[in-house]
Structure 1
Amino acid sequence: MGCPTNVVKIISISLNAILAFLACGAIAWIAINSDTEQEEFVIASYVFSGLIVLMVIVGIYAAIRESICLTATVAVFLLLLVILQIVNIFMFVNPMKLQSGQETVEIAWQANNMDGLQQQFKCCGKTSAQDYVHLNQVIPPSCYTDLQQVPDHLFLNGCIEKVQDQYESDKRRFLIVSWGLAAFLLLCFVGAVFLGISFRNKQRRLQF
């Protein structure tokens, strides 16, 4: 009769371990990109990720100890974290100001520092290689694949378009990850509820 409880326990511990990995990954991502995000968003994300790690530790301990009280507490906090994550998405992620590709490229253009952008995003000039031609400048090697200055290797797209597409793609991915985390938190909450019920049923059986 104890097999179902053990299965639920293993699943719950596994879910918590995955959740801890995701939270640590989120902390690392925030640390790397903190300079490009709103301060309020960075702080909220650090706090939220830290709470997740704390709940994971308590959740694993509760599963190992088969504590109904701790498991119920973890379930409640997981539900609160689901709500907080959804609020976080609507308050910070959805309205998050998208970086301007044009502004980024204009700054690099004015500083005569386009080489890095052109190689990173495989683009040339602000709108095309014609930007250099119109200024009677030689198209730089960074506008070519592998820096080989042959016509077939010339990047055709301008950097404003490519950089803006990258920023928009990054935001889409972040939204997907944010909603995915909310869904996974909800799954962990369901697992904690089932685990608590399983522990309670096991204790009842042992009384007879």
Structure 2
Amino acid sequence: MSCGISMVKYILFIFNLLCSICGILLIVFGALFFSNIQNVDDFTEALRTQQVPVTMIVLGTIILLISWFGCCGAIRESYCMSMTYSILLFVLMIGQLAFVIYIWLQKDRYLVMMGDVVEKAWERRTRRSDYMDAIQKSMECCGRSSFTDYAFQGYFPPSCCRDPNHCGPESVYRRGCKEAFVDYWDRNSTAIKYSGLVIAAIEFVGFVFACCLANSIRNYRRRADY
């Protein structure tokens, strides 16, 4: 094959490496988001919110596998593998863009859902306090609206302080959990959207190079048969 096509092959390999890194990042971020709500998964609202981190983990795994497939196709100079890789990458890119658009349009709905999770945890704290404790520990917050929500009982639960053995008015978290939980998802939904767009752009470039490589491999083999 020509020098130019050989360069395309190695560029495609580099792009697949970048896609692999992006896939790993999606898995890591999805796992981090999931870990912050797994302790409240008995709530219907929390189950729905788990769709986002689980989708990120699944998407990252698919990106990682397809990138590995593309690397093999480029190194082995296989037309079939390269063309299959380009098709899979295109379908993945479309699906990923659809996911980003969905997150973009449903952001307000998910933020309301996050607030409802804290509301239900607060309402059920007298029967089962571990849900509220899990939120307070992970979000470093106290109470539904603020730490004053516990003023009626005269003490603060250990989960409201960084040092559970010394939890008093001077060391308690001041911020309410509803605000902290909603703000957490508000910040990270923005990160999800822009990360998805960047990854989709990288995938599009990889798709173009994969198509060029597959076409060149086919033409080279045709000429070699004469």
| Superposition TM-score, scaled by structure 2 size | 0.67
Contact 2:114–2:182 (8 Å) recurs in 1: yes
SS at match of 2:190: helix
Tell me the distance in 1 between the aligned counterparts of 2:215 and 2:153. Answer: 76
Structure 1 residues 124 and 13 mapped into 2: Cα distance closer, same or farther (>3 Å)? same
Tell me the distance in 2 between the aligned counterparts of 1:192 and 1:126. Answer: 52
Tell me the distance in 2 between the aligned counterparts of 1:137 and 1:44. Answer: 43
Q: 2:44 maps to which residue?
A: none
Q: Does 1:139 align with 2:150?
A: no
Q: Percent identity?
A: 28
Give CA deviations for 1:88-140 in whole Å, capped at 9, x if unaligned.
433x323344053332222222222233322221111111122111x243223
Contact 1:101–1:161 (8 Å) recurs in 2: no
Contact 1:12–1:188 (8 Å) recurs in 2: yes
Q: Does 1:98 align with 2:110?
A: yes
Structure 1 residues 137 and 106 mapped into 2: Cα distance closer, same or farther (>3 Å)? farther
Tell me the distance in 2 between the aligned counterparts of 1:14 and 1:49. Answer: 18
Q: 1:154 maps to which residue?
A: 172
Q: 2:209 maps to which residue?
A: 191
Contact 2:27–2:58 (8 Å) recurs in 1: no
Contact 1:132–1:138 (8 Å) recurs in 2: yes
**Which residues in structure 2 correspond to 1:2-151 (within 5 Å)?**
2-20=2-20, 22-23=22-23, 26=26, 29=30, 33=34, 36-37=47-48, 52=63, 55-56=66-67, 58-68=69-79, 70-90=81-101, 92-96=102-106, 97-99=109-111, 100-112=113-125, 113=129, 114-133=132-151, 135-147=152-164, 148-151=166-169
Instruction: Specify which of 187, 197, 204 is matched with residue 169 of structure 1.
Output: 187
SS at match of 1:107: helix
Tell me the distance in 2 between the aligned counterparts of 1:46 and 1:123. Answer: 27
The gaps in structure 2 that reach 5 residues or longer are 42-46
After TM superposition, the structure 1 stretch with the greater mean CA deviation from structure 2, 81-90 or 65-74, is 65-74
Contact 1:143–1:154 (8 Å) recurs in 2: yes
Structure 1 residues 98 and 193 mapped into 2: Cα distance closer, same or farther (>3 Å)? same
Contact 1:5–1:202 (8 Å) recurs in 2: no
After TM superposition, the structure 1 stretch with the greater mean CA deviation from structure 2, 3-12 or 179-188, is 3-12
Letter in 1 for 2:115: Q
Contact 2:12–2:74 (8 Å) recurs in 1: yes
After TM superposition, the structure 1 stretch with the greater mean CA deviation from structure 2, 34-43 or 151-160, is 34-43
Structure 1 residues 137 and 107 mapped into 2: Cα distance closer, same or farther (>3 Å)? farther
The gaps in structure 1 that reach 5 residues or longer are none
Tell me the distance in 1 between the aligned counterparts of 2:78 and 2:218. Answer: 9
Structure 1 residues 83 and 121 mapped into 2: Cα distance closer, same or farther (>3 Å)? closer
Letter in 2 for 1:143: C
Contact 1:122–1:155 (8 Å) recurs in 2: yes
After TM superposition, the structure 1 stretch with the greater mean CA deviation from structure 2, 50-59 or 1-10, is 50-59
Give CA deviations for 1:14-63 in whole Å, capped at 9, x if unaligned.
32244345446656848x84973479989987986676566445533432
